[in-house]
């Protein structure tokens, strides 16, 4: 055991450094996302979801770096990642709208000009929806119409349609 540790001490130290950097970056990204959420008055739960997406991405990059530290051959990684991406690609092709809505949810977190409580009108070819934003989730936005009906509208469609602000903080009234 001591012989193994002495032979691979540099790899273990480099891995420890990468893990420390990972945790520091994760902490910094979490603080930045929470600060953006707080400055734009976005729910804490939404900020946590977006922070989780970034943490998972950062974790996968960290695993890749650790694999290189331990001398994993690039050709072996290409085979593994191409197999994984082929499987994920088939699964996401079957449910592409889920990935599209999650991506749209992240975009909405950073650039959507409206927040929970605002009354908006969504202009679609066939219909118009006038409702108050009740919740913005990973996949869809929850809208409450004046008659009390709950409408769930996909995030990706929200980015594709024209949206008009009717009233700010309509829930406060």
Say what the pLDDT of residue 29 is. Answer: 92
Q: Regarding predicted confidence, which is higher, 18 or 83?
A: 18
Indicate the SS3 state at residue 95: coil
Tell me if the pTM is above 0.75.
no
Indicate the SS3 state at residue 91: helix
Write the pLDDT tens digit of every residue in 135-167.
888 888 999 999 999 999 988 888 888 888 888
Indicate the SS3 state at residue 136: strand
């Amino acid at each position: 055991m001591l012989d193994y540790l002495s032979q691979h001490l540099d790899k273990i130290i480099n891995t420890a450094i990468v893990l420390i950097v990972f945790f520091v970056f994760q902490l910094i990204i979490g603080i930045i996302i929470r600060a953006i959420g707080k400055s734009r008055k976005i729910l804490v739960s939404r900020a946590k979801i977006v922070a989780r997406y970034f943490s998972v991405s950062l974790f996968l990059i960290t695993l890749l770096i650790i694999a290189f530290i331990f001398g994993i051959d690039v050709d072996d990684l290409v085979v593994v990642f191409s197999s994984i991406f082929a499987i994920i690609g088939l699964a996401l092709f079957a449910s592409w709208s889920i990935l599209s809505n999650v991506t749209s949810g992240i975009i909405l977190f950073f650039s959507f000009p409206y927040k929970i409580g605002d009354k908006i009108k969504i202009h679609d070819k066939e219909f118009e929806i006038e409702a108050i934003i009740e919740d913005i989730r990973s996949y869809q936005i929850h809208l409450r119409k004046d008659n009390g009906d709950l409408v769930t509208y996909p995030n990706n469609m929200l980015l594709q349609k024209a949206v008009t602000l009717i009233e700010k903080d309509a829930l406060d009234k």
